[in-house]
Structure 1
């Protein structure tokens, strides 16, 4: 039967705690020392949970039932009342000292615990530093679209459109994190959609014509600059990895006996280890590079400092010195060259090509079932590609 005030007042403490039910999961727990506490038992997504409403008579029977009905409505709306209560508590203790910079630091630490790649964390920390210069000292509850715009507009005016867009994005991410923790604000970046100039998408230049590719390979082979640059460019063409992944490669990642290079996840865009088969041509180049560096050091050490890798502009600068304009080819463009010619050959599956490039399947359902790395096919494809490059270079050399 439902509780009444008289029945509640007549409840006597016993040696052990006990509870007396009202309706709809609401009950009162009587403690051995005599206190009477309101509780609500409910289920959310199949799990049994409990809410505390406070002591009787401070919380009356009528108030307890009102709280019960309020939380039951939340459950019907798909919300967990326990989580909502925690968020209200969090909001209640927020002060004006809870700055944007403080929440940004929390978000960065959360990303670190989630295992984000070190390079990703470094880039986000840099963007947060840019944001902090404008709004870091401001209480996050006080941030308005005009404050955010005043932070990113000077970056855009300095000609750094892409950076301005990324800073705007990270400010929004920090604000949404603050909202998730209980701060009662709206995301101020939402109102700024379209306020910055759109970034012009520029595809990385790549040579797709086989004849012209042969000429490029011949030019690389005849390059008279530093040997690390020449051999590195040849490896880049053969292995079609991202330039940064090759520049920062270290010898312990290579198993020359097994013809395998394993790129660790902290250097991969998709944040997972990537195995790349090494054709004989790549092995030969690596063996030539071996005496030029430390045993556990970089495969392509810097020219001025062997403790550092080749600089990020090394390959592109070399391509310019060979006479190839930036509109025609870039170091990253070898990936597009490989993708195009391997696809046009009709010899290889799209899945194997995508795995060779360490791309992630965009369709989530298909990705869940596509778990193999197509290794045997990729080994054959790597050998085919290296031989194809040799043939194109030979034709170009004979024609000179």
Structure 2
């Protein structure tokens, strides 16, 4: 009895893979996971062989029968269809994506960097080198689940859209019969809007650190982002930081009052990681005024959008993470870890909330703050090493 589309759609996975025959050696193999693979069983030079014809529903029943007939024609002419297929290099998802990217002439450079960054960070490692004709909805869903696992739900939806555009380009180019991402509607977690636009879990912080450590853009901007992570200072204070404010012997950054939001001098203890970063940065900008000079001139600091722009190029949306969000990230994780809230608030340079704590002392809790900042940097390193 021949297969029908209705019968195929109704097939359910079993404890073991099961074959459903259509005729002339063509059959559909349903795996334990529910994937449906077209196969053709034939004999060549006395040996029984199998030929993969694609995956349902990417390859429909009608298309599978057509492919089987073409393979049978080759067999009648004395050619082994499997051998011929092996000689033909399959078109990978990466190849289609690169061709699609090359045709987007209307894009602005920042948008192009964002799209390329998302493909490099979240898709190519898992799907890039696989034949696009073999990719199923579950393959894309598993890749998107990796993004969701770090809490980046908005990015997951954005990446799904990018993959859909690439697959639809492949359909238009007659490479695949249909877009496998179209069946993922409703499969992803709806993104939550975060008022602070910050990652606030250990997993999110670890993923963020891994991506930032691998950033290959402007070195000074990369250092500014990492310094923001280690010190969780405000962007205005960080951008305008000067080498005269850094006391390397005391491992201390003293921010002058006129640069602070509350016009009070602020002390930032420097962790081992921050010190190492500053020593590397000094080789680049140590002769100038600013720690983080502009790419165009040493006389000005990096722009107010430099760090946020770098985060966008790494694939993080403004709804997920901002440069200011490092403060919320540190506060959330440190408070959850049980550190003294007064020490955390002092290091955040927040205004005391009652009269008892209103007597401001720039060095208040300083020994505890040294320990806090080193512990925080060590925590970030630990989160970074714990890949999901």
Q: TM-score, normalised by structure 1?
A: 0.47
Task: Report the structure number with the largest CA radius of gyration.
Answer: 1
Q: TM-score, normalised by structure 2?
A: 0.49
Larger RCO: 1 or 2 (CA < 8 Å, sep 6+): 2
